[in-house]
Amino acid sequence: MKDKIIVVTGASSGIGWATAEVFSQHGAKLILCGRRKEKLELLASKLKTKSLLLTYDVRDRRAVFEALENLPKEWENVDVLINNAGNAHGFDPVQTASLEDWDAMIDGNVKGLMYVTKALLPQMIKAKKGHIINLGSIAGKEVYPNGSVYCSSKFAVDAFTQGLRLDLNKDGIKVGAIHPGLVKTEFSKVRFKGDGDRANKVYAGIEALSAQDVANVILYMVQVPSCVNVADLVLLPTRQANAYVSNRKS
Ligand code: 8X3
């Protein structure tokens, strides 16, 4: 892992932040991507290894390509891309959901992830090596009420991951996805537009995964031998059976 170059999108919080920390602890150099410069600077100040900060919004196609196609020489040989940026916005039935929420999810979770991937592919193909790990969700494996567009976005991540693996098979590039269930981050607070009480109820009695739990499994996906690819991995809290069934402590 030492001196490998790892790109993490959505590094300014949650799973992205924890992933950057875990990889840095193992000696990797990090390209930290996010929208909030101060947060990235704070993260970089805590890391043990060198980092490069790139501030852009994955929804902004031009900004994505400008940032990632012009990496400084020292940083251009990217070993691993961790496509983490993404969020849920709103929790509503199709009839009443906000179109702004839909755009945010489709543009960020789907198109943003695709742009970032495409921007980094030429270098990986040239090097005949690389590893792309997409953050899916159990919402990309099963659909639940009020989640139609968030679930659509994560189903798209799953489909894109599979397609990318097919297209890059001849180039020696690994492609895989990790699909977490409940992870205790700001995720639900963002989904519920800042309503902390509502967000806390989602995690009540369930011993949700932590961002570090997910980060450690991503590290494992990268550490397996080069002839092994963890292609599709669902990660749940022990108390959660699927998106619908959980054994909550009362
Ligand atoms: C997050 C997991 O179950 O809230 O992607 O959709 S869930």
CB 243 within 8 A of CB 181: yes
3-state secondary structure of 194: coil
Strand partners, 83: 134
Q: Whose CA is nearest to atom 4 of ligand 1?
A: 182
- What is the per-residue pLDDT across 184-218, written as a single tens digit (0 to 9) for each? 999 999 999 999 999 999 999 999 999 999 999 99
What domains lie within the chain, and their CATH numbers?
5-235 (3.40.50.720)
Q: What are phi and psi of 96, to 5 degrees?
A: -115, 0
Distances in Å between the alpha carbon of 224 and those of 20, 30, 87, 233? Answer: 18, 19, 28, 14
Spell out the alpha helix ranges (H) of 48-168. 61-69, 99-105, 113-127, 148-168
Strand partners, 178: 135, 233
Kindly report the pTM of this predicted structure: 0.97
- What is the per-residue pLDDT across 119-144, written as a single tens digit (0 to 9) for each? 999 999 999 999 999 999 999 999 99
CA distance 222 to 195: 36
Q: What are phi and psi of 117, to 5 degrees?
A: -60, -50
- Give all strands of the β-sheet with 173-180 in edge-to-edge order: 51-55, 29-34, 5-8, 80-83, 130-135, 173-180, 232-235
Whether the CB of 188 sits within 6 Å of ligand 1: no
Q: Which residue type is seen at 177?
A: A
Q: What are phi and psi of 189, to 5 degrees?
A: -65, -40
Burial class (CB in 10 A: 0-12, 13-18, 19+), 25: middle
Q: Which residue type is seen at 84?
A: N
- What is the per-residue pLDDT across 2-40, written as a single tens digit (0 to 9) for each? 989 999 999 999 999 999 999 999 999 999 999 999 999
% of the chain with per-residue pLDDT over 70: 100
Residue listed under structure tokens 């990986």: 124
**Contacts with 14 (C-beta within 8 Å, 6 or more apart), sequence order:** 183, 185, 186, 187, 211
**Contacts with 201 (C-beta within 8 Å, 6 or more apart), sequence order:** none
Examine the pLDDT at 1 and tell me if it is beyond 90. no
Question: Is 56 tagged catalytic?
Answer: no
150, 152, 153, 200: residue to mutate for ligand 1 pocket, most atoms within 8 A of CB = 150
Find the catalytic residue in 150, 203, 220, 244.
150
